[in-house]
Structure 1
Amino acid sequence: MEESAKKSGLVWVRVPDGSQRALWHVWHDGAVHVVGDGDEQPLYGLQDGAETAVTVRSKDKGGRLVSWPARVVEPSPGSEGWKAAVEELKGKRLNAPDTDTLLERWASQSRVLRLEPTGPLAEGPQSMPSSAHAAPPVASAATTRRPAPAALPRLLTRRGRKP
């Protein structure tokens, strides 16, 4: 768990509606830590005490590496656990608009969650399921391809000509 989470930039977390969402994270003190809501990434309704599943993907190939059950714990802002987690998260936060006041903003607007492993690996190198777990794309006009205009080939070949 630790090795794969440290090497990956994203984890997939099961949210209350049953879907999985990608969250940037850090591994610290035996658990995955995420910061969200407010001006940060949405946490999709994850609440303190909830049970969830964390799936780590490969950073280079994007495929699943491991998956485990986890319990959501929300440390109170200002506590020792919260301070240690946000120091790690601050180092991984890319392009923060307010690096000087980032911790104050997280304390007032955002939530820091600790996703603690609660059991053995549900999926691992020797126990991957055969299904892809891929969801079908949402129906949208943007996903429907229309035929190219009939004049397009002529227009493309005329571009290189000089008048």
Structure 2
Amino acid sequence: MEALVEEAAKKAAVAWVAVGGRPATLVWCAWLGGALLVVSGEGEQAVPGLAEAAAAEVSLRGDHGGRIVTFPAEVTRIAPGDEAWAEFVPQLAGKRLNGAGGAEDLAAAWAERCIVSRLTPAGASAAMPEDSQAAPPRPTPATRIPRRPFRLHKVRGASRDPRR
């Protein structure tokens, strides 16, 4: 099963990460050094609870778009002065799409205001559920104004006499 996790993670650009019973959040990530690296914080993606977490549940999708594997992960933080920071963060910054500036500028910005988390697979992957795991949409104040119905010809008012 570890081979499946590694192979899926190598191909993954995004993962679903659930922390502390919260709903899973879609995050961009990169597989480096035997773990998924995730950047969160100001100016980057929000992953509620990941900064304080010691464990998370990660789901990865396959080539067909559906979930292929879900596994528990041990969460550790990579600090800017660490040896792991110098080894992995420049590579991670190079993989970041639409990053402001170059990889060095991005890594410096992350050191100032973001947290780089390392999600290392811990234990066996979870069994795939029998149901769809579909959840109702989360409540939101956002609304959409309905479109007016399409009319090809002008419709005469009902108050007019149809014999005219």
TM-score normalised by the chain length of structure 1:
0.80
State yes or no: 1:111 paired with 2:112.
no
Number of residue-to-residue matches in the alignment: 148
Q: Which amino acid aligns with 2:143?
A: A
Q: 1:155 to 1:138 in 2, by over 3 A?
A: farther
Match of 2:157 in 1: none
Which whole-Å CA distance do the structure 1 matches of 2:74 and 2:138 have between them?
30
Which whole-Å CA distance do the structure 2 matches of 1:94 and 1:107 have between them?
18
Please point out which of 108, 121, 125 is paired with 2:125.
121
CA apart distance, 1:13: 0.3
Superposition misfits of 4+ residues, deviation over 4 angstroms = 145-148
| Structure (1 or 2) with the larger CA radius of gyration | 2
SS of the residue corresponding to residue 47 of structure 1 reads coil
Please point out which of 67, 73, 78 is paired with 2:76.
73
State yes or no: 1:142 paired with 2:143.
yes
Which whole-Å CA distance do the structure 1 matches of 2:153 and 2:21 have between them?
49
Which whole-Å CA distance do the structure 2 matches of 1:155 and 1:23 have between them?
49
Which whole-Å CA distance do the structure 1 matches of 2:101 and 2:59 have between them?
30
Match of 2:66 in 1: 63
* Alignment RMSD: 2.3
Q: Percent identity?
A: 39
Which whole-Å CA distance do the structure 2 matches of 1:97 and 1:75 have between them?
21
Structure 2 unaligned runs (5+)? 155-164
CA apart distance, 1:139: 4.5
